[in-house]
Chains A and B, each alone.
Chain A
């Protein structure tokens, strides 16, 4: 079974440029998460989707970040414009959330963003 797929794996851009990350979750997983992992830190949740609905985006900086999950499968996370402080690894995770199940989150390899 394929895991969570993310692309690109690495991205280098200049500040003020836009950037987008793509995530394909594990087939059948209804819940998708975007995390940001700063250097030397643990992941922090940015946004969570249940199917196509963003049910928690309280940590997403909405002035420059946006996300979508059309058709409840793939998702994109966009930053426009990027700032130096956005340099981090952006992780996507997915899980099958259902009553009575454990709800383990499976993580993708991440996209390492460097803003110059």
Chain B
């Protein structure tokens, strides 16, 4: 079955860049996502990348996709204390309107040191 792996913890200093890594196994994944979960809250979609892209940039966020190695990363530039949260990598299998199945990793807890 599908599997998504992430490192569990990351600690960075405020102002530095954070890089959260993820590997996945399903080669048919069409979309890959990064979600953010703050304490006591639901998941908030941060960004996503389509499988035919290798990079996507959105303000402080940069997503890199290496489809050959099935490796996804999220870089947060100028990390702020408000970025402290758990970040989930997720993949969606299949394409088209009928595809919906998301497989999530266990999440990476990002701690930002002031």
Contacts and interface: CB of A to CB of B under 8 A. Distances in A.
A72 interface: no
B106 interface: yes
A95 B100 CA distance: 9
Given A97-B97, A100-B97, A101-B97, A40 B106 contact: yes
B82 interface: no
A110 B42 contact: yes
A70 to B, nearest CB: 21
Interface in B52-111: 88, 90, 96-102, 104-107
Task: Give the interface residue-count category, chain A.
Answer: 20 to 34
A45 B2 CA distance: 13
B105 A42 contact: yes
A97 B99 CA distance: 9
Interface string B35-49: 100001111110010
Contacts, number: 57
A43 B107 CA distance: 10
B interface majority secondary structure: loop
A3 B96 CA distance: 25
Interface string A92-108: 01010111110111111
B97 A98 contact: yes
Nearest to B43: A107
A31 B100 contact: yes
Nearest to B101: A45
A104 B31 CA distance: 11
Contacts of A33: 100
A105 B88 CA distance: 14
